Every structure is written in C-alpha cells, then in structure tokens.
Amino acid sequence: MKYYSTNRQAPLATLEKAVVKGLAEDKGLYMPERIKALEPSFFDHIDRLSFQEIAFHVAQAFFGEDIDEESLHNIVYDTLAFDCPVVPVTDHIYSLELFHGPTLAFKDVGARFMARLLQYFIRKEGNRNLVNVLVATSGDTGSAVANGFLGVEGIHVYVLYPKGKVSKIQESQFTTLGQNITAVEVDGCFDDCQALVKTAFMDAELNARMQLTSANSINVARFLPQAFYYFNAYARMKALGKADKLVVCVPSGNFGNITAALFGHAMGLPIHRFIAANNANDIFYQYLQSGNYCPKASLQTIANAMDVGDPSNFARIIDLYQGDHARISSLISGATYNDSQIRQAMQSCHAETGYILDPHGACGYQALREGLLEGETGVFCETAHPAKFKETVEAAIGSTVDIPERLAAFMKGRKQSIEVSSDYDDFKQTILLRDAPAAP
C-alpha cells in the first residue's frame, strides 16, 4: 500500500519510506491510500477473539500488502505483550486502561510497534549500518520510545531531554536502560532539544556518516497501531452486551490517539460517536464550535501530555473527512477542562466510585459524565497510570497512590546519561564519537 501526504505535494511513499522518513517532503503527514472496510462477519464474532487476534486482523488490513504474514504476526504479538482491559467505573462509564505497558502510558503500543516494524525493514534490506533514532522529549515520549526500542538489534536510540526539567520518575524511565539507549541530558529547555534534533536531520555531513531517523508521534507506524485497542474495547463491551450505542472519549493533545480511533470507525468499527476531551488547550474544541482552526501557543496544565496548541494530527482528521466541518462536528464532540475542573473530576470520581484517575484520563471521564445521553455507554481512555502523576493525584483525591512494581523498578536503576550544552556542534561531536567504532 502506498502513502500520500496530507499536503499532496510530495510523491507517494512506500510503507518503508513513510516509516523511515516520518514526515513527507512537503511537511505533510502520511496517510494510507486506502482504508479497508472489514467484513461484517468479523464484527459479528469479534467478542470471541482475543486482543492479539483482533489486532492481527486489523494490522493485516493496513500492513498485509507490505509485510509477510508470519512477520506481521510476530510484530503484533510481540508489541501487545500486555493487555488493554476495559474496566467498569460507573454503570455506564468504562475505563479503557492503556497503561499496562512498560512505561505505563498508551504511547507504549505505538512505540513498540514502530520499533519492530523498523527492525523488520532493516533486516529485509540486509542493512548492516546501525540506524540511529533521535528523539527529543519533555517526558513521556522519550520513555515510550526508549523502552519500545530497547534491545532491538540494529537500532540505537538517542533521547534528548532538558536537564532538570523532567520529573524523576520520567527521567528514570529512559536514563536507566543502557544497552542501545543513550540518554542525552541537554543544558537547556525542551525547545533546545527539539532544535538540536531538527538541525541534526538537516546536517548533510552528519547524515552522510550516520543513518538517522525520527520516532515522532506523527509516524504512521506509531499512530495506526493505536486503532487496535479500540477494536478490542468494542469486542469486550459487546461481550457485556453494552456495545449498541458506544461513545468513545479520548483525552487529546496531538490527536494521534483519537485519529487512530477514527480510522477504526472508517473500517467499520461500530462506534456510535466520539468525544475529544481537552485540557485548557481548547483549539480543537473551538474548531468544532466555529469551524475555524486557530492554533495558539500552548498553555501549561496538570495534564501536561495534552499541552498542545497546534495539534499535528488535525491535518489527518481534515483529510479523512475532506474538511467537512458538519460531518466532523456531528461525529465528534468536544470538551475542555481547566486545572481546577480536572482536580475536581479526579476528586469526585474517587469519592463516588473509588476509581483513581490520572489528570489526562480525568478529562475523558468528566466529558462522559457530562456528555453521555440516554441509552449510551461510554468508554474513555485512561492514557497513563495515576502513579506517574503521584503528587498531583494525591493532592486531588486526598489519599495515597501506590507505585506499581515496574515503575518502582525504574527508579531503583542507575542513571546513565551524556551531558551536552545546547550548542549544536557540541552535540554533534558527542554523538559522532559515540557512533565511531572502537579502536582495534
């Protein structure tokens, strides 16, 4: 299958090119040329299939032409080494828990899939040069990418992060891994890290000496696999007899996660309607009300992984529905919550149901609380484990949040990082030196 750019100026790309390049030459986002509708019989008996079986079937629709069946099967089963269960919170509201992966956030699914797909292409090409993944992070992306690629042969990952500006829990998730993961601690802010990565991709000399690629969240190999868990959520709700008028609510920042759900819908997944829940960064919400898209500088909130003022996947949503605002706003509704409303949602959910939300999931839960209509059942994504935001959550609910074993394990590890200034040449020399083969 070929991939086109949302800007329609770049040539069609193969899956391999779309995955390795990430962004098209015209700066557009890659879209699959076709979205295959799945056969009705699949949905009739979907509740009898396992998560992995469902995911493999969905994966074949996207990647089946480009990857042999056995390899794709292995990639999917290896990616989904953990469950994404649907858990009841109230009679009508269910939590799709996406935090059971290695870094306790939903980005694990996409990052693990992308790592394995990239490895497949490297092996197929017989490429003996190491592929270097550069990723700048303000926290969660770095940990998901580092853990997703950990131990994947033929790939080395550099995670650039701002010194002193990432929480200890987050930092431990990518600085303690070793192996093929190098944490680069930049004396600067997140924008400096991003600038270093951007300059590196444009540096002809560096690119001639090292094979570089990004693991950005707009990559098709990171965003499409997120559709898997929406099919699974539908299946589990169908098994409960609650799938008739299912409303899926996604706490959204860059809108990759909800776009994957919309792709599922386009493949025939019977979701009744969607809600995009935002924090105070309400650009999409405003678009739904007015039809005008007005990107803004992002505001800092307690649901910080959603602090996005110009959601990159908006272009994919517009492309999917040919910019038809009436269609988009009838299928998707919006919600927006400021920090005090998010705290209030965590507090009341805990008091009323005993369920502990993280600040991102809290936006999703609250949007269903306020927005579900008679006869509908809602599923919201719980995108991160509440222990990742321990202080904020504990202050809101007034009781303690236990740290899961695998999160605690990261914090016991030994920090390993390379320190660099925010000067590009300093960074370049550092990674060139690291990449150089050891003297005989």
Ligand X SMILES: *Cc1c(COP(=O)(O)O)cnc(C)c1O
Q: Provide the binding-site residues for ligand X, judged by CB under 6 A.
A: 105, 107, 140, 251-257, 305-306, 360, 383-384
Q: Which is nearer to ligand X, 155 or 363 (CB)?
A: 363
Minimum separation from the CB atom of position 141 to ligand X (A) = 7
b/e map of 338-362 (b: 16 or more CB within 10 Å)?
ebebbbebbbbbbeeeebbbbbbbb
Coil, strand or helix at 74? helix
Beta strands per DSSP E along 89-180: 93-97, 131-136, 155-162
Minimum separation from the CB atom of position 207 to ligand X (A) = 28
Q: How far is CA 51 from the centre of its chain?
A: 18
Minimum separation from the CB atom of position 209 to ligand X (A) = 32
Q: Which is nearer to ligand X, 79 or 257 (CB)?
A: 257
Q: Which is nearer to ligand X, 74 or 167 (CB)?
A: 167
Q: Which is nearer to ligand X, 181 or 357 (CB)?
A: 357
Say if strands 418-421 and 377-382 run parallel, antiparallel, or are unpaired. unpaired
Q: Which is nearer to ligand X, 103 or 213 (CB)?
A: 103
How far apart (Å, rounded) are the C-alpha atoms in residues 297 and 299? 7
Token couple for 285: 């919400």
Which distant-in-sequence residues (6+ apart) come within 8 Å of 391 by Cβ? none
Q: Which is nearer to ligand X, 71 or 341 (CB)?
A: 341
Q: Which is nearer to ligand X, 16 or 108 (CB)?
A: 108
Minimum separation from the CB atom of position 177 to ligand X (A) = 19
Q: How many other β-carbons are positioned within 10 Å of the β-carbon of residue 189? A: 15
Beta strands per DSSP E along 363-429: 377-382, 418-421
Are the C-beta atoms of 117 and 75 separated by less than 8 Å? Answer: yes
Minimum separation from the CB atom of position 136 to ligand X (A) = 14
Minimum separation from the CB atom of position 218 to ligand X (A) = 10
Minimum separation from the CB atom of position 147 to ligand X (A) = 13
